[in-house]
Chains A and B, each alone.
Chain A
Amino acid sequence: MNEKTVLIKDTTPGSTTGTKDFFDLFTSALRESRLSDEVRVVRAADIGVYNHGIVLKILPENITYARVQPHDIKRIIGVTLKHGNPIRDLEYRPSSRQLRLVLRNCGRIDPENIDDYISRNGYQALYKALQAGPEAVISELKTSGLRGRGGGGFPTGLKWSMTGKSPGDEKYMICNADEGDPGAYMDRSVLEGDPHAVIEGMLIAGFAIGASQGFFYIRAEYPLAIERIQKAIDDARAYGLVGERIFNSSFSMDLEIRLGAGAFVCGEETALLASIEGKRGTPSPRPPYPSVKGLWGKPTCINNVETLANVPPIILNGGAWFSRIGTESSKGTKVFALTGKIKNSGLIEVPMGTTLRDIVFEIGGGPASGKKFKAVQTGGPSGGVIPEHLLDTGVDYDNLQRLGSIMGSGGMIVMDEDDCMVDIAKFYLKFCVDESCGKCAPCRIGGYQMLHLLEGIAQGKGTLEDLNRLRMIAKAMQKASLCGLGQTAANPVLSTLRYFEDEYREHIVNRRCPSKKCTALLRFVIDRMRCKKCGLCARTCPEKAISGDKDRGYVIDATKCISCGMCFEACKFGAVERN
């Protein structure tokens, strides 16, 4: 018998000793069967399955059993460990699992070692592309159905063929790595973990459109990504994979890095172009599109990091292979940065069409502290919230748009019952107001006015008429703003209004914040029964609104209280109540 390894983890919520107990049972059963020397038993910290009781994973067969009971141990040893056969009724089959295509090398290879990348089929796609010719590459991309991963979802093959057909002997290829959505870091991770994949994607794209110069536009806040991309470009150049006559063909292309200085709007392609040219980063009206008149007036193709990282596998395995992954309108996989009130925050990659429920509960492990799930926010400041009853929607470009959100670049923020939707809308709108470049009036003025109305509602000064005003301004911004930032800035407000209007009304009519987040609407009182008279709240209060002493106890003077909530945070006994 070969050596086997069994991983054990109790995934029951709140269980603390389950893993240990089962481990002990299992090891003593092995001793009885005289298998202790051949089978390694290991308590796992995390087994990638959640809320499924005791979970076992058997290596090297890679069999996972869920909801295992103590009486199953005997047959697991007899059937699987002795004979290597799976037990069908115990096997765990997840409704969906991660598929790592863009992240295929992330965490697997040394990003600073080009040989590591080459050992995972690196630069073979580039060679294949150079052999096949630009038309064949573009046609392969069109077959694949790959759409831009930066958020817009424009078909990549079409973009390449448009830029390729634009007249001009000088063309540019740009990689947009100005990732700025709060809570999103997919591109950073790819740049840091697999820089050569993006470079290979850039070279293939440059070859397809006829460019001989490429730029990485990376935000300066990503120092490690910049360092690794620079090293990767240098190493590739030393191998002759960047520069003159690549693979001894007639194709030459050089790559350079340009740094973004931190403006969110510079992720918008026309503003990005202005920024590379050394001008102020403000968008300009389209048409003309960059594919016709882009960088320094020359035809330019701009692709997002994740889009480019998809290119080498498409060329290697074929467009038809890629188009078999995903849904009818959205092919391939999508990387999401799962953050917020979620157990396993991190990066995940799933095939398009995976349901939000699977992403949040199966892969993400559900809300962090066992609190009730409320909504998930997708698409960052340009997206919207999706409430619980729509969680069974499969994620793709069109489905999310239908729900009033967008795919965006892939930020996914999970919110639980403690999150107030008015507060969330205010947060995202504030972000867009701060980042608005101010060039066009709808975005500059509309955003500010909406934020003003939201702040009023959060302070209990709103009226029901404000809700209509918000909708009206939002519509004007969507229709009349110059670029994507202004056109989508109102989305978080509109989607929270669409699914959580009750919460807005509660703030306005009853002057109450159901999630107890809008502190201006809260009243703080000290519960005399629970108060231990320690005086910590009185010492913490910045307004000296809490009086009393260690004998009589403490009271909050409502006329002085500014509802900052510091006493609530400070009290160790839960004696400060907020209503």
Chain B
Amino acid sequence: MAVITWDDLTALQKRRQEQDTNWIKVGMSTCGIAAGADRVYRALEEELHKQGCEVQLRKCGCLGMCAAEPLVEVSIAGMPQVIYCRVDEATARDIVRGHVCGRKILQDYIIDMQSEEVS
């Protein structure tokens, strides 16, 4: 790609923001990986494939709630965006089957943060 321009930057931003739904994010910083996030990631990958879901699986950094890792954030169109905490492989599969396919939020795993974000 040639040198990026301001127009490229804003066009790219607009394109990305329009597609921003139906994804699962797994916190994959050192703290997450230490708590088993890579195993959770693989379990999600497998289960999504098995169920044939059209959902993007992404890696992201640390949200800061290290005591509650591994963290999995889920955004499905028409449902609230939520974060699951202390996810293991079995819960990861439940997230795909229950939340993504069944459109039901799993009980007892949601973590909420009282914070404000600056863009």
Contact with A240, one of B3, B58, B73, B85 (Cβ below 8 angstroms): B3
Closest-by-CB residue of B relative to A333 is B118
Pairwise interchain contact B119-A104, C-beta atoms closer than 8 A: yes
Centre residue among A44, A57, A109 by max chain B CB count within 10 A = A44
Pairwise interchain contact A107-B2, C-beta atoms closer than 8 A: no
User: Residues of A with Cβ closer than 8 Å to B?
Assistant: 3, 5, 7, 40, 42-49, 57, 59-60, 64, 94, 97-101, 103-113, 115-116, 118-124, 127, 185, 188-189, 192-194, 222, 224-225, 238-241, 245-248, 313, 317, 343-349, 363
Pairwise interchain contact B111-A99, C-beta atoms closer than 8 A: no
Note all chain A residues with C-beta closer than 8 A to B113. 48, 98
Query: B40-76: which residues lie under 8 A (CB-CB) from chain A?
Result: 58-68, 71, 73
**Contacts A111-B61, A120-B119, A193-B29; A94 near B67 (Cβ below 8 A):** no
Pairwise interchain contact A97-B114, C-beta atoms closer than 8 A: yes
Pairwise interchain contact B114-A106, C-beta atoms closer than 8 A: no
Pairwise interchain contact B6-A44, C-beta atoms closer than 8 A: no
A113 and B113 CA atoms in complex are apart in Å by 25
A3 and B104 CA atoms in complex are apart in Å by 13
Looking at the assembled complex, report how far the CB atom of A457 sits from the nearest CB atom of chain B, in whole angstroms.
34
**Contacts A48-B113, A100-B117, A121-B119; A108 near B60 (Cβ below 8 A):** yes
Pairwise interchain contact B64-A106, C-beta atoms closer than 8 A: yes
User: Residues of B with Cβ closer than 8 Å to A?
Assistant: 1-6, 9-10, 12-13, 16-17, 20, 25, 27, 29-31, 33, 58-68, 71, 73, 78, 80, 82, 85-86, 104-119
18 contacts between A and B (CB under 8 A): A42-B82, A45-B68, A45-B85, A45-B111, A46-B85, A46-B111, A103-B64, A107-B71, A113-B58, A115-B16, A123-B9, A192-B61, A224-B29, A346-B65, A346-B66, A347-B62, A348-B64, A349-B115
Looking at the assembled complex, report how far the CB atom of A324 sits from the nearest CB atom of chain B, in whole angstroms.
12
Note all chain B residues with C-beta closer than 8 A to A189. 29, 31, 61-62, 64
A57 and B1 CA atoms in complex are apart in Å by 46
Centre residue among B1, B33, B65, B86 by max chain A CB count within 10 A = B65
**Contacts A100-B116, A194-B61; A119 near B108 (Cβ below 8 A):** no
**Contacts A97-B115, A118-B13, A121-B119; A109 near B61 (Cβ below 8 A):** yes
A121 and B27 CA atoms in complex are apart in Å by 21
Centre residue among A97, A119, A241, A343 by max chain B CB count within 10 A = A119
Q: A7-B112, A107-B64 are in contact. List 15 more A-B contacts (CB 8 A).
A: A44-B110, A45-B86, A48-B115, A100-B118, A107-B73, A108-B61, A111-B61, A121-B119, A188-B29, A188-B30, A192-B61, A224-B33, A246-B3, A346-B31, A363-B114
Closest-by-CB residue of B relative to A325 is B118
